[in-house]
Structures are given as C-alpha cells and as structure tokens.
Amino acid sequence: MLGLRRFLPGANKTLAVVAGIGLVQVLTIAHSFSQSSNQRSLDELYKIRDRLVTELENPDSPSPEPTFLSRLVPFTATPQEATIRNLQAVEVQILVEQRANDNFQQAVRLAARAVETGGERNQSIESAQQTHFLWQKAIDNLQEIPQNSFLAGVTAAKTREYSENLSAAAARLQQEKSELLGVFARESGLSGKASIGVCSLSRQCVNLRGDVPPVSPASLIKVPVAVALMDKVEKEKINLSEPVFVDRGNFTEDASTQIVSPKNYPLQMLLEETIERSSNTATNQLIDYVGWDYINQSLANRGYQVTRVKSKLMGAKIRPANLGPGPNRLTVNELTEMMVQIYNGETPGAKLLVEILNQQYDRKLGFAALEGTQAQWLGEKTGENSLVLGTTLAMSIDGEAYIITVIDSGGRDAQIRQSISKIAAFITQNPSF
C-alpha cells in the first residue's frame, strides 16, 4: 500500500471527483461491481484490491478494458481514474462484507448461548427470559446484514431457523409466566377457577385461564358498557351534558349511588355513577340509552369475541324491567385488553374514562393491595356478586403502566389483594415480566 500512497497525492483531482459521486452512488457501484464481477468471498475481494493497487503503482502496465463502471459515473474517466473508482468500490464492498461477517459470527455465538440456556434442566422464568433474549439478539444481528452481502443467502436461512427457535422460546416463556401466576394464585388462597391477566401498555401480556369466562362478570361488565357508550357519543357527536331520563323500570338496589328514578340526569353523571360508584340503576339506563345491539356490535367491531352485554344489573331483590336476553359474558384477557386500550388512548373518550376510573369509590381491592408497595395505583373497576369477586386496575411502576385483572369464584377481599400485591412486587423486581 506504500506505493499507492505515493501515487495518490498526484491524483488528488481525480479522487475529489470520485468523492463527489456521493456515498449512495459509491455503495451502488460497489454492489454492482460485486454482482457483475461474480465475487463470492472476502478473499476474492482482497485479491482484486491487490491487483488494482498494483495497476495504480505501475501506470505503464496495460490499461484495463472498459467496464460497466464507466457507464455508472457521469464523467469521462481515464484508465487510471477508472481503476481508482474500481478500487473505491472494492474497498466499500470489503467494508460491507467485514461488517456482515462480524454480525453473522456474533449471531452464531448468541444462538449457541441460547441453545445452552434453553437446554438447562429445571428451567426458571429468568432462564426462559434469557433464552428468549438471546434468540432475539441473534436475529437482530442477522438483520444488520445487508441484502447485497455475499452472506445474504445463508443469512435468510439462518433467520428462518432462529425465528422458529424464538417462537418456541416465547411459548416457553409464556408458559413459565403463566405457571408463576398459578403459584401466586395458590399462595394467595385463590380458588382453582381464578383467572388472572397482566399486561403492560406495550401489550407484553401473560395470563392464567385468561380465556375462560368466569361464571359471572358482576359489575366488571360496566367497563364494556362505558366503552360502548363513548363510542356512540363520539360517532353521533353527543353532548355529555345532555339530560337522560332514568326510567322507573331501570331501578334496582344500589349501595352508594346518588341516582334515583324517575328523574333526569346529565349523561356524563350517569357514566360517572356507573364506574365511580358502580350504580346498577345508572348502568341499566345507559344500556337502554345505547341499546343492546349497538353495545354488542361496538364490542365486536373492536375485536372482542366473547364480551357481550345481554343482561341488566339487579340488586338482591328488585328486578329491573326488560332484564335482557341472556347472561353477560367476558374474559379476563378481553377485559385486560379493554383497559390497555383505554389507558393507551385507543378508545373513544379514553381521557374521560381514565379520569372516572381514577375516582372509583370502592378501593378495598386493588388500591388497598398496592398500598406500601412501589406501585402507584392509577384507576380501577371492581365487581362483586354472590358468585364472583374481581377487579381490573391500572398501576405504574417506575413510569411503566400495567393492567392487572383478577376474578375468582367466591373469592374474598384478602385473597384478591394478596395476589395483586405479589404480582406488583414481582414486576417491580422484574420489569420485563
């Protein structure tokens, strides 16, 4: 290379012109050069570079025949200028291949570590997380290899192989997380029918029997009613101050509501009473206001396959008129996703719904469970009847928001609280959960 350095000072003008081609065109030239020259390895590129350097150091040697490079550069080049351009293209391709090789080798090393950690006996959630992380990092390295690299073909095959392994690792990790929720449930005294769902707002989720509908949603069904109401309000441009008459036929026992019938109330007040004070009467009137068909079509349009509102709410004795065609249904997974959409601002009226969830009157479950922990309570909706006890709540840990939903048949306050406390404590120590 010393001879080349002696030559280059005498070719500054040519090099300046070559530099003026620009990085994008140089890369294009390099790619075209490697393709047309049918190069297949770094060693071949090194040999071509050495030959080009020799040509520059010996200007009296026979001039190379014109190549395709002459057509790619918008100026007439002398034989020496053409050789310099060829050398520039080779150097760029060498750099591409060196980096590609480094990424490929790193991917192979990460994959070997993933195989090792994934094959350990007595897998823990930590080792499952590490295995998943290593496969993902291996794929990330492969994706850094450009399509014009000699390694593109083998990289594509490796990417498919590693992606299959990543999917298997993800399934294993989800299984480990689900089993951990099962441990928390048993340690907390929840029944074998308890359902738990946990999601970050980025939708990193895990569940325990999350697709199994509880025997009853109780007042948790009021969240879907509120979501469908806000969908109607946005689409039909309804003013939330609009007065709504609460029909006597929608009255039933309520523990703490301010709603009585027959009387007019602003639509927003009915919504607030439905969530904040879990008013059955307000909920029943909203069901009539929105309509059975509209509510359930709205839920279906948002992708909820199980959650349906088919019954009004009733107290211990008073049965409202037009009770409904069947039982209400939801799953922990769908309710958790609904809360994720609300707190992500993906639901019509999400800001108002977040404010109302933050004002819930009943704070003996999720709110109480997070007291004394590093988690900050953001909002909640509880539900209870003679069949089930449950809650869905939002919390924040170190600036990251999560949704936790717990529903149990015949559950008790202390059991629900303890399960939530355990989940929050684990997430505090393991943010990637």
- Please state whether 412 falls in left (phi above 0), alpha (psi between -120 and 50) or beta: beta
Model pLDDT for residues 125-140, shown as the tens digit of each residue? 888 989 999 999 999 9
Q: Minimum mean pLDDT among 27-31, 37-41, 258-262, 292-296: which range? A: 27-31
Give the dihedral sign, CA 421/424/429/430: positive
DSSP state for residue 48 in the 8-state scheme? H
For all residues of the chain together, what is the average pLDDT?
87
pTM of the predicted structure, to 2 decimals: 0.77
Query: Where does the pLDDT of residue 2 fall: very low under 50, low under 70, confident under 90, or very high at 90 and above?
Result: very low
* CA-wise closest residue to 204 among 159, 162, 173: 173
Give CA–CA dist 18/12, Å, rounded: 10
Q: Which residues pair with 382 in a beta bridge?
A: 391
Model pLDDT for residues 163-214, shown as the tens digit of each residue? 999 999 999 999 999 999 999 999 999 999 999 999 999 999 999 999 999 9
18 pLDDT more than 50: no
CATH number of this structure's domain 191-429, picked from the four choices 3.30.160.620, 3.30.70.20, 3.40.710.10, 1.10.10.10: 3.40.710.10
Q: Which range among 50-54, 88-92, 357-361 has the greatest average pLDDT?
A: 357-361
Query: Long-range CB contacts (< 8 A, 24+ apart) of 50-57?
Result: 52/83, 52/86, 52/87, 52/90, 53/1, 53/3, 53/4, 53/87, 55/83, 56/3, 56/4, 56/7, 56/80, 56/83, 56/84, 56/87, 57/3, 57/4, 57/6, 57/7
Model pLDDT for residues 35-67, shown as the tens digit of each residue? 444 446 778 888 888 888 887 888 665 555 444
Those residues with Cβ within 8 angstroms of residue 225's Cβ, 6 or more apart along the chain or in another chain: 274, 283, 286, 287, 290, 295, 309
Query: Where does the pLDDT of residue 10 fall: very low under 50, low under 70, confident under 90, or very high at 90 and above?
Result: very low
DSSP state for residue 86 in the 8-state scheme? H
Annotated domain spans of the chain: 1-188, 191-429
284 pLDDT more than 80: yes
